[in-house]
Chains A and B, each alone.
Chain A
Amino acid sequence: MPAWLLHPLPLAAILVTAANDHLLKGSGLLPGWLTGKLSDFAGLFFFPLLVAAVLRAKTARARTIVVVATGALFAAFKLSPRACAWIAPIAGVTPDATDLIALPMLAVAWWWMARWRPSPRWNGPAWTRTLVLGGAALTSAATSPIRGPYYYHPLPMWSAVGVTRQSVACADVDLWVSKSGRQGVGLTIAFEPRGTPCALSLDRLALVVPGEREQIATLLPERIDVAPGQPVHRYVAVPFDDADAWHHNHRAGFVRVDMTAPDGAHALRFDIVHAQAPRPRWGTEWSERIIITGESPTGLQVMVRLDPAMTPGRIESVELVENTPDTVGGRAGDDEPIAALPLSLAVSSAPGEPVEVPIFLPFDTTEWGTPSATHLKLRVWFAREGHEPTWFETPVYTPSEAGTP
């Protein structure tokens, strides 16, 4: 029965699938749209032959059932992210409705089983049939998701610009946008002690965007006690219809913070802008934990994602390392460090809430703009409370390796 597979055509389909999944995807040799479909076309041809061979489907009805079942499963996986997640432990499948264009290959597979009769020269010995069956099964099960590079697609966000650090009596006050979306913005205010302890009052915070109504933060005023060596952080939410502001081209504004300090009242102004950043030219392989979200000549903006079960914990450090050929697969300490940022950053979350931590990794990114053979990895050292530090990492694509997205 595997004789269906013992022919140059199905064998070529198996080889094409294997080569596409493990060599061509992400290599840059072929365009992404082509490697994204190649395995679907080749796989839908040989996979029903494989299943029919394994099940010894001798009758036309049995072969038809195999073909129809293959189509139904393929469609389910391509249409349902949930189905893809279910099969993820044994095969990487990406949901994509446009892949259904490969379905006519099922008709070719059905026709092949119905019409093709092996000539004696394709009746190889038993071990060749076993080899082909094993190879086809392995190719089917070991389809891999595309390795990369993947680039983050920034959405419009507010961010603080210009001078963000201002002095008030015993503290320097810093402000940044820590959340931004269509529901509004979340602001973090940092009070860095300057020496003597004192008490401040955060009286009022207003977001002023010309053309929009002034947005006043609720839950204020609040007393802030500043002591030497103990910076204080406060989070202030300012809800408003940011989608409306974006579509009305309201791209600039400021945050006014009214405070009372021992030396009197202060009105601080922090300028903010509303912009959609360009896609970073640095990419990564697909990673659930590490995403490069931005770049500048002075470093990379990185997002670290943790599962709720990983908190409370600490992000100990972030590193960019170069894997020399000698250290591939070796221990973490064997790599050549390029940049390292010690942090000891406490991370906590509400039960069930996934965690995101933005981190800026400073280094000279311009050095990596020229063609060079690199094997860079971003590595995050992390320690759960009461556990030994561990690390996770992802391969990194520099602009010269990946080209401009």
Chain B
Amino acid sequence: MRPGAAGMAVIALLAGCAHFRLRDGPGDVDLSRPPPAIDARGATLPRPTLDRALALSPGVLAGAGARQLDSGMTREAGLGFELGVYATHVKLADRILADTKRDYGYGDHPTAWGINLGWTPPATRSGQTDHQPAAYVEAQGWYAAGGVAAGVAFTPGDSRRARTALQIAPLLGPFYGRFQVLLDGNIAFEVGLALKIPVILSWGP
């Protein structure tokens, strides 16, 4: 990517362009009670609804850890890329700051479910690159600021047991851990920082 294009992408993300509302609609209202001042002419405000949303979350993961080899544990580090697709809910703010788009939050009980597709290019990884899986598919659940993901790791086009693993990854904010059990019996773990920029598609009820 040329520096100019990269700069534009960063500016677009900083500008908060990452939320697209596909459908607006009426808010929530409690009809069971009369208005608190019944003789006040006018309507109380409907509350913004908790809307369904799809989060497309590409990101970069930088981590370091250790891998078990026949000769013992060896340190390694790597830079990976991940695309997450999650189903979640968002709640839009009822007020907007000047010059900004409508802000949103994830509601009182923020949850998200989805899948991650990850890839760690061998060129970005230290250690024995020919021993370990390069890609993974995992299911992820998220609540508030933490979550867990679990799935399988493999190397596309190479189905040897040593290149396939089961993995589980606890998540806390931007930090992650990943624990792998390779089918050849070895284990590996890694901790690191995941910088992901979600693009939110939401739609009202």
Contact = CB atoms under 8 A, between A and B. Distances in A.
Interface centre among B32, B42, B96, B144 (most CB of A within 10 A): B42
A153 B102 contact: yes
B51 to A, nearest CB: 11
B1 interface: no
B90 to A, nearest CB: 10
A295 to B, nearest CB: 13
Interface size class of B (residues with CB under 8 A): 35 or more
B143 to A, nearest CB: 11
A151 B173 contact: no
Contacts of B172: 72, 75
Contacts of B48: 155
B28 interface: yes
A246 to B, nearest CB: 5
Interface in A357-405: 357-360, 397, 402-403, 405
A231 B40 CA distance: 13
A291 interface: yes
B34 A157 contact: no
B35 to A, nearest CB: 5
Contact of A347 (B31, B36, B102): B36
Given A155-B48, A178-B43, A358-B44, A98 B18 contact: yes
Given A76-B173, A150-B96, A237-B32, A97 B39 contact: no
A323 interface: no
Nearest to B27: A155
A345 B145 contact: no
A82 B92 CA distance: 16
A16 interface: no
Contacts of B174: 71, 75, 100, 103
A308 B41 CA distance: 21
A202 B130 CA distance: 83
Given A32-B100, A153-B95, A182 B205 contact: yes
B113 interface: no
B70 interface: no
B58 to A, nearest CB: 13
Contacts of A306: 36
Interface size class of A (residues with CB under 8 A): 35 or more
Given A182-B49, A243-B205, A301 B197 contact: no
B45 interface: yes
Interface centre among B28, B41, B43, B144 (most CB of A within 10 A): B43
A135 interface: no
B14 A37 contact: yes
A176 interface: yes
Contacts of A122: none
A31 B15 CA distance: 9
A316 to B, nearest CB: 12
A405 B96 contact: yes
Contacts of A336: none
A337 interface: no
A345 B41 CA distance: 11
A66 B96 CA distance: 35
B94 A153 contact: yes
6 contacts: A71-B173, A75-B145, A153-B93, A157-B26, A356-B36, A357-B35
Interface of A: 26, 28, 31-34, 36-37, 68, 71-72, 75-76, 79-83, 95-98, 100-101, 103-104, 146, 148-153, 155-157, 159, 176-186, 188, 190, 231, 233, 235, 237-239, 242-243, 246-247, 276, 279, 283, 286, 291, 293, 301, 303, 306, 311, 315, 345-350, 353, 355-360, 397, 402-403, 405
Given A179-B30, A179-B35, A180-B26, 13 more contacts: A33-B99, A75-B175, A79-B106, A98-B16, A104-B195, A155-B94, A176-B42, A181-B29, A186-B34, A188-B41, A286-B95, A356-B44, A356-B45
